[in-house]
A and B are shown apart, each in its own frame.
Chain A
Amino acid sequence: MRTPRTSALLAAVALVSALALTACGGGDIENEDAAGGEECGTIDMAINPWVGYEASAHVVGYVAETKLGCTVNYKDLDEQVSWQGFGEGEVDVIIENWGHPELQKKYFESKGGDGSAMSAGPNGNEGIIGWYLPPWMAEEYPDITDWKNLNKYSELFQTPESGDKGTLYDGDPGFVTNDEALVKNLDLDYEVVFAGSENALIEGFRKAEENKTPYLGYFYEPQWFLSEVPLVKVELPEYTEGCDADPEEVACDYPLYTLDKIVATDFAESGSPGYELVENFKWTNEDQNEVAKMIASVGMDPEEAAQQWVEDNPDKVEAWLP
């Protein structure tokens, strides 16, 4: 009986002494310079699962850390889960938001929600969602880019996963999508199969173009991959205001999204210079693609990519600073 007691005592002593020691000085670790970062503190930045988002987030994060002395925590989260995090103090910023009126209703005070989140304005990017084909198919079957002709070619897209229907690949289950409803409402002989991630889609398109195999998939812009393989968009019935109001009855194309930044209300009201940076942040699809490509294609660390872009574009960055 004596030994466990002794060791428990020793452990307790160790812990207490460790805590006591941490209070002592000495060594080369010094508290951070209070000058820049004092008021900034930490920013919890959600990272949604596509590279373009990552590019924006890391550029803002890099600027916040280097120019404002903030501490930035990056958190890998799904779009909707990120929204959930605003109220709990887990998330401060979503840097690239694709619409989500239902979430706005839940979290924006202006829309009758609990007021934990608010918009910090557009980030300058224009979002397009649609169905895309590898370029060789558009050349081979010129009329395939019209949705009306998709059934004609559905056999081309058969896979073991879709049986006797054609496969329409969707991305991450967390992405904004109406595809199943579209397939149903447009009477298409296709089955939606989730590829699982942006990367899976890119791999799919890349292989399809290389091997000249058929591939039809959900995709979006801004997107760096389009500069590597210029995918061709399928024309769906034109979007009109409100045609997507009922998600079960949608039979039209996706709208053009003005991507915006969503922030936690607490963060916005904290007076942090980090918030001002987020509010001021604005760049183009080309800017994002440039950084995204460095990350995804060149294989750079997101941080390095952000650093390089910031160094190459000092004037743009200057404009965001508080």
Chain B
Amino acid sequence: MSSIATVRPKTHDTGALATLRARWRLVSLLAVVAMWVLVWAFTRGEQTLAIQASDRTDIHGWFLARTTAIENADNVVTSLLAALSSGMDATLLFLQHLFTVPEYPRPYPQIGWLGALAIASLAAYAVAGWRQVLVVAPSFLLFGLLGYYEDAMDLLIVTGVAVAVALLIGIPLGIWMGHSKIVAAVVTPVLDVMQTMPSFVYLLPFSILFGIGPAVAALVTLVYAMPPSVRVTAYAVRGVSTTTLEATDSLGQNRWQRLRHVELPMAKRTIIVGVNQTTMAALAMATIAAYVDGPGLGQPVLEGLRRGQLGKSFVAGLAIVIMAIMLDRTTTAASTRSDRVARGDRDTGRVRTVALVAGTVVTLAAVYLSNSYTWANQFPEGVNIGDPISTKVDDLADWLRSDLSAITTGVQETFTLYFLNPVQDLVANSPWFVAGLAILAIAWIVGGVRALGAAAVCLAGIYWLDLWNNAMITLTAVLVATVVVMILGLAVGVWMGRSQVVDRSVRPVLDAAQTMPPFVYLIPVLVLFDANRFTAMVAGIIYAAPVAIKLIADGVSGVSATTVEAAESAGSSRLQMITKVQLPMARGSILLAANQGLLYVLSMVVIGGMVGAGALGFDIVYGFRQANFAGKGLAAGITIVLIGIMLDRITTYGARRAQSPGRATVRRKRLSLSRAET
């Protein structure tokens, strides 16, 4: 991220000039849309570049030929990749034999649930303190009770291995990036693109390179999960107090001493925040990796989705949520604990050593028992709360869809017919150059020349990839869903921003919601609605709302108290206060919220491709499932990335323009650390 390009003078007023400028922008936006509608009315349906799901063009063929070439290639790179893959396979298989997969002739895995539970509890105590044992142990029991102990362990194994490797690579890279401006300049844009890419987009290229199975799942997971650890580490290293560095340098330390004794200890807490984010990203990806036969809880979710057994998906999803909460709590606690230890809290004394030794002895006993006795190895089947839940959910879904179908289909059809379809008609049924010009104009108005440039490059790429029409349909879904996200965000965000009580009660819910893998969001929505565009959008809205709400709430509550006081003393009504003071002053945060809303919705709409969202998401799913369409699927993946970059650039530059200097925080920093602040 480069720094803020223009810093406006430090005025906190929204004077006549500023208002006029804002109005001018609004007026020109409306003019562009009006023009667009006008031209569309006469040219509707011409040159829309629409192609069918089963159509392929030369460029898709070219991609397909490349994938075939890659699959059949035999050179240093491929053998290196093969070695990588088999190394990963061996590691995973070793762990699976230990915990989940019996190795013939043994009927059960080496270490059963009791042993795993004890090991996890001990680990939680060691890195995060005794309170976390109270989170981890019940979580493990719940995995068993829900009937998904093995799948949960598999997911943990894949996530754990991926996170370990991601950190092994990511933290050193982040340190390097924190030290070298050149490395930072090279790596940052790559990370930007990687973080704009929806998780689902990663799967296809990885399955082409590595095939299917646990190794691919772990590899794709580690690549997807690495960026936050790199970014946060670099940020943490750069954030180490320069005085301290100077002071210790003046004592004559060499580079290694500086890194080991000064930078790493002082950056540790922030780096663990990066570990948290990497872990959560890994969990999200490892779940979706069920598509490439990745073991774990994603499998039953997917199975349930494919067979329409939503109850099954729901229960497995519940287990994923429990795991997400468990991992999030543990890594967050590890971060605060590292801080406490650094400050010399008494948590490190003899009591702890004794507890660790005792815990180790108990763990060894548990491991032994689970190795030797069936009851401690196989989670007892008699106690199962998963099946009843599953049945209840299925019944609920039946009831919603049969007895309440008037309401659910009513909502769905009204929204689709009166909101979604007209917008899609405009965006996707305009001639491509009309839609393209309109988008460029909007980009220019919102984000200035740089946004215009980015949008032009991205649109050219989309055109070249021959998926223009599908891109426009996906874009519509993203825009429409984001509008809803922003309405929700403004309503709840303003409410939270104005009341601490509301903030304190709503925020934990939002925090929890943000830890859940996107995949899981589909399930409850599918219980309510049939699989189609609408459903995917609803899932996207639910997925994106928390981050948007939080950003807006922070923006509103960040308006300086003095300004609010001044406005109050001038006799503003509550509505005036919101519309004339708080929202205008929070507009930087609001655009930031729009930025995140767009990207979150985009990643969800793509996942929605498999529940009938159509367009690009479907192209990817299709490319994934029909070998002849792999080329088109890849093209669709790139198109999605281009859409993501375009939306990201437009809103980022727009946010920078709108951001008042007081809150001129660089976007990524703020986001990547938003969880640390909570």
Q: Do A and B come from one complex?
A: yes
Candidates A11, A27, A161; contact of B373 at CB < 8 Å:
A27
Question: B364 and A17: CB pair below 8 A?
Answer: yes
Question: A28 and B303: CB pair below 8 A?
Answer: no
Q: Does B504 contact A (CB under 8 A)?
A: no
Residue interface bits B326-356, CB-to-A below 8 A is 1, else 0? 0000000000000001000000100011001
What residue of chain B has the Cβ atom nearest to residue A250's Cβ?
B54
Question: A90 and B626: CB pair below 8 A?
Answer: no
Question: B306 and A49: CB pair below 8 A?
Answer: yes
Question: A90 and B373: CB pair below 8 A?
Answer: no
Query: Which one of B25-33, B121-129, B183-191, B508-516 is at the A interface?
Result: B121-129
Question: A200 and B530: CB pair below 8 A?
Answer: yes
Residues of A within 8 A of B377 (CB): 29
Query: Would you list which residues of chain A between 195 and 222 have a CB under 8 Å from chain B?
Result: 195-200, 202-203
Query: Would you list which residues of chain B between 411 and 436 have a CB under 8 Å from chain A?
Result: 412-413, 416-417, 421
Question: B625 and A31: CB pair below 8 A?
Answer: no
Query: Which one of A78-86, A123-131, A277-285 is at the B interface?
Result: A78-86
Q: Does A166 contact B (CB under 8 A)?
A: no
* Size class of the B contact interface (CB-based, 8 Å): 35 or more
Question: B212 and A3: CB pair below 8 A?
Answer: no
Interface centre among A21, A198, A200, A203 (most CB of B within 10 A): A21
Query: Would you list which residues of chain A between 139 and 184 have a CB under 8 Å from chain B?
Result: 160-161, 163, 172-174, 177-181, 184
What residue of chain B has the Cβ atom nearest to residue A103's Cβ?
B627
Known: A29-B371, A196-B611, A199-B309. A80 touches B625 (CB 8 A): yes
Query: Would you list which residues of chain B between 195 and 251 have a CB under 8 Å from chain A?
Result: 207, 211-213
Q: Does B408 contact A (CB under 8 A)?
A: no
Interface centre among B369, B374, B612 (most CB of A within 10 A): B612
Question: B126 and A192: CB pair below 8 A?
Answer: no
Residues of B within 8 A of A71 (CB): 102, 104
Residues of A within 8 A of B627 (CB): 80, 83, 102-103, 106
Known: A27-B373, A103-B627. A196 touches B212 (CB 8 A): no
Main secondary structure on chain B at its contact with chain A?
A: helix
Q: Does B140 contact A (CB under 8 A)?
A: no
In Å, the complex CA distance between A211 and B274 comes to: 54
User: Which chain A residues have a beta carbon within 8 Å of chain B's beta carbons?
Assistant: 2-3, 6-7, 10-11, 13-14, 17-18, 21-22, 24-32, 34, 37-38, 41-42, 49, 51, 71, 75-81, 83-85, 87-88, 90, 102-103, 106, 160-161, 163, 172-174, 177-181, 184, 192-200, 202-203, 247-248
A-B contact pairs, 26 of them (CB 8 A): A2-B348, A10-B126, A10-B356, A14-B363, A17-B367, A18-B111, A27-B371, A27-B372, A28-B373, A29-B106, A29-B108, A29-B372, A29-B373, A71-B102, A76-B290, A87-B211, A88-B212, A88-B213, A102-B627, A160-B412, A173-B626, A180-B53, A193-B614, A195-B531, A196-B610, A196-B612
7 more contacts with CB within 8 A, not counting A76-B303, A85-B212, A192-B52, are A7-B126, A21-B364, A81-B625, A88-B211, A160-B421, A179-B54, A194-B614
User: Which chain B residues have a beta carbon within 8 Å of chain A's beta carbons?
Assistant: 52-55, 102, 104-108, 110-111, 115, 119, 122-123, 126-127, 207, 211-213, 290, 292-293, 299, 302-303, 305-309, 341, 348, 352-353, 356-357, 360, 363-364, 367-369, 371-374, 377, 412-413, 416-417, 421, 530-533, 610-612, 614, 618, 621-622, 624-628
